[in-house]
Amino acid sequence: MNSFFKILICVIFLYSSASAQSVEFEKANFPDKKDLLKEAKKALEEGKDAFVLGRKEYQFILDEYVNVHTYYPVSRNDYRHAGDIYFKQANPFLLKAQEFNPNNADLNYMLGFISFNINPQSPDAIKYLEKAYTLSPQKVPEDGVYLLAWADQINLKWDDAIKYYQIALNMLSVNAKDNVIPTADITKKIEECKTGKKQVANPQRIFVDNLGAAINTNYPEYSAFITADESMIAFTACRNTTTGGKTDGDNGGYFEDLYISSRKGKEWALAQNFGPIVNSEDHDATAGLSSDGTILFVYKFKEKDGGDIYVSNLVGASWTKPEHLNKNINSRGHESSVSLSYDGKRLYFVSDREGGLGDRDIYYSDKDIKGEWGPAVNAGPVLNTKYAEEGVFIHPDGKTIYFSSKGHNNMGGFDIFKSVNNNGIWSEPENLGYPINGPDDDVFFVISGSGHHGYFASSKQGGFGDKDIYKITFLGPEKQPLLMNEDNLLASVTAPVSEFKAEKIESVGPKMTILKGIISDEQTKQPLEATIELVDNTKNEVIAVFKSNSTTGKYLVSLPSGKNYGIAVKKDGYLFHSENFDLPASANFQEVEKNIELKKIDIGKTITLRNIFFDFDKATIRPESANELDRLIKLLTENPTLKIELGSHTDSKGSDDYNQKLSQSRSQSVVTYLIGKGISGDRLVAKGYGETVPVAGNDTEEGRQLNRRTDFKILSK
């Protein structure tokens, strides 16, 4: 038995002689209540016996945690529910004794300890622990004072928390040889309180909505992940419908399963279990989701490896059986959350593997040329601290990362932080502030592509049961802050849409574009599975390759600002379709819905080559046209009998004669280029149309830009 436990057990029995202020369960103190005293003492002894057993289990689990995790501070969730069974047995007996004698320090200490362990946000934890200290300040150990300070911290009573932490620190200095709590832990918690006091004084302009009965139940729901356009959510729940029907022996909760829901308009569909292909009879939890919702990462716990990450893919309407990620991602340690970059080439994840900078660190791995995940690289000391990091999420803008940490300038437990990568260097992590963060654990936060909404799990009052999933709406800093408290932050369960919904959101969101839609056959209108290539036109490099869903034809591509993008949609037997998005670094968020109908390779079919560029007012082909021209060459090579017309068009600026000559010269430049690449000239016809075939009005720059184009038409096959 370690010194910490010995001291705590002794404290229970030393209170009887602690102070004249502490009323002991003795005849002298209750001369006219002999029978009631006897019953109270019996209840006290039964409660104390159960408390000691629970306290022993609590300490064992805490010691196990501290032995594995090098650095303090711990947070309540690190050993939440430890000893709960015994504490719940003890509580009614102790409360019965409390009714008879409310002024016993020993009894108040035990009740305060139990209240803190079960629900530290309850005012009972502070009430009992503070009373124990008031009744016997000289005998309450630093443990009791420490828990009192912690309860004050969790309940936002910053000044009281600092006061009692300082008292606990002074007690440690007096009894240095018997210290049961590291002084560094208390010192850090004092700093957390100072940070919390500042954050609460300057709250963020947000409101918070419960996602409602379609997502949340009286069982725990948490670890939510969304697509960039917020059309789909995947999350973890411990419900009585769990696959296999197993429960945890210690606290009786059901095993974890993954659930999914889709959104139409403002309403979420009733969440469905992913089913037995994804969920097993053991614990299965969400670990991450690609921004387009086609790649699902699953956490599975196995004793031999401490918890690993698996991946499942959406193929048509079905998810594949989760496959174990390679040894560069999964180690002998514990891997929890992951996040895939918008281009699918980098995977961020959290691990407590050997060689890290602290307790748990953020790592990343890049795909090699074979499509395998390469060696893990620590994300470095700007993001990682000597404490624990968790819940990593890389935004679809490609440069903003969100994560939870017990380090940095936090308010207690895990806080959520944000950092931005500029030219390979992460900015100093920024605390997202109150009320997003609080003094307890805030973990597993994700944010929409627009940046207007965040999603997280919380056990806030007014929910459906245990943990629920909530949506944060960011209002931006432009207007005067709302006067907020816990009541008007949380929308009611029966009306989950916030009363502040009419207020205009001023924040512009991340610098990116979401392009989404449905790919189908032009004639049959049936959805198609097609390949979508994302090209950096400036570098003439393929950034990423995606596929539309074979059942629905849906696709979603994230385009961070700062590039000239070429997008090519291809499928065997069809002409390719191209789009161009030239997004300067200053381009604000936008969501573009583009349904694409692919055309069969038939005579008379025409497509626009949107990624062929010419020097201004000239017929010189610019280098960023290379990928588009290469696609055309590939099409002509694979279909050697095709004969095509290359037709160029202009807007209405300039004279008719000038536009005709310019368009003819540009068409001829394309033909000349193709001949130079080995395409026979007798298969190619150059045709200039000038301004005679507009596809949009010429009275706006947008219309004129659409009219300046190069098409090709199949003449024969």
Residue 246 belongs to domain with CATH number: 2.120.10.30
Please report the pLDDT score of residue 475 as a whole number: 85
The set of residues, in sequence order, having a beta carbon less than 8 Å from that of 258 and lying 6+ positions away, is 234, 235, 236, 273, 274, 278, 279, 284, 285, 286, 296, 298
* Residue 242, in any domain of the structure: yes
Pairing of strands 684-688, 643-649: parallel
Averaged confidence pLDDT in the chain: 88
Please report the pLDDT score of residue 251 as a whole number: 57
Please report the pLDDT score of residue 55 as a whole number: 83
382 and 272 belong to one structural domain? yes
CATH number for the domain including 592? 2.60.40.10
Where would I find the beta strands (DSSP E) of 626-669? 643-649
Res. 351 pLDDT band, cuts 50 70 90:
very high
Closest by Cα among 524, 587, 531 to 555: 531
Q: For residues 74 and 293, what is the distance between their CA atoms, to the nearest angstrom?
A: 34
- Within 10 angstroms of residue 562's Cβ, the number of other Cβ atoms is 15
What six digits make up the tokens of 505? 């959101």
585 and 631 belong to one structural domain? no
| The domain boundary residue, chosen from 427, 456, 489 | 489
* Residue 581, in any domain of the structure: yes
152 and 225 belong to one structural domain? no
Average pLDDT over residues 560-573: 96
* Residue 417 and residue 404 in contact, taking contact as beta carbons nearer than 8 Å: yes
Please report the pLDDT score of residue 182 as a whole number: 78
Confidence check: pLDDT of 572 > 50: yes
pLDDT tens, position by position, 209-265: 999 999 999 999 999 999 999 999 999 999 999 998 888 765 568 999 999 999 988
* Residue 201, in any domain of the structure: no
* Residue 494, in any domain of the structure: no
169: helix, strand or coil: helix
* Residue 123 and residue 157 in contact, taking contact as beta carbons nearer than 8 Å: no
Average pLDDT over residues 43-48: 95
When divided into structural domains, the chain yields a total of: 4
Element (H, E) at 636: helix 626-638
225 and 363 belong to one structural domain? yes
pLDDT tens, position by position, 47-82: 999 999 988 887 766 665 555 554 445 555 555 566
Please report the pLDDT score of residue 482 as a whole number: 44
* Residue 307, in any domain of the structure: yes
User: 280 burial class (0-12, 13-18, 19+ CB within 10 angstroms)?
Assistant: middle
337 and 307 belong to one structural domain? yes
365 and 456 belong to one structural domain? yes
- Whole-angstrom CA distances from 28 to 21, 32, 95, 589, 686 are 14, 9, 22, 76, 113
Average pLDDT over residues 412-420: 94
Confidence check: pLDDT of 395 > 50: yes
220 and 309 belong to one structural domain? yes
593 and 619 belong to one structural domain? no
Average pLDDT over residues 332-343: 94
338 and 436 belong to one structural domain? yes
* Residue 122, in any domain of the structure: yes
Q: Rg of the chain over CA atoms, in angstroms?
A: 32
The H-assigned helical ranges of 24-157 are 34-68, 84-100, 105-118, 123-135, 142-154
Confidence check: pLDDT of 400 > 90: yes
Between 511 and 119, residue with greater pLDDT = 511
Res. 543 pLDDT band, cuts 50 70 90:
very high
Confidence check: pLDDT of 206 > 80: yes
pLDDT tens, position by position, 683-697: 999 999 999 999 999
Domain limits at 106?
3-194
3-state helix, strand, coil in the chain (%, to 5): 30, 30, 45
Between 303 and 10, residue with greater pLDDT = 303
Within a 13 Å sphere around the CA of 169, how many CA atoms are in the beta-carbon half? 15
Average pLDDT over residues 136-144: 78
Please report the pLDDT score of residue 491 as a whole number: 34
Please report the pLDDT score of residue 311 as a whole number: 98
* Residue 327, in any domain of the structure: yes
pLDDT tens, position by position, 594-620: 999 999 999 999 999 999 999 989 999
What six digits make up the tokens of 209? 């909505």
What phi, psi does 282 have (nearest 5°)? Answer: -100, -165
pLDDT tens, position by position, 639-666: 999 999 999 999 999 999 999 999 999 9
* Residue 504, in any domain of the structure: no
Q: Residue 555 — left, alpha, or beta (φ > 0 → left; ψ -120 to 50 → alpha)?
A: beta
Number of residues in the chain: 717
What phi, psi does 682 have (nearest 5°)? Answer: -75, -5
DSSP state letters, 196-252: HHHHHHS--SEEEEE--TTT--SS-EEEEEE-TTSSEEEEEE--TT-TT--B-TTT-
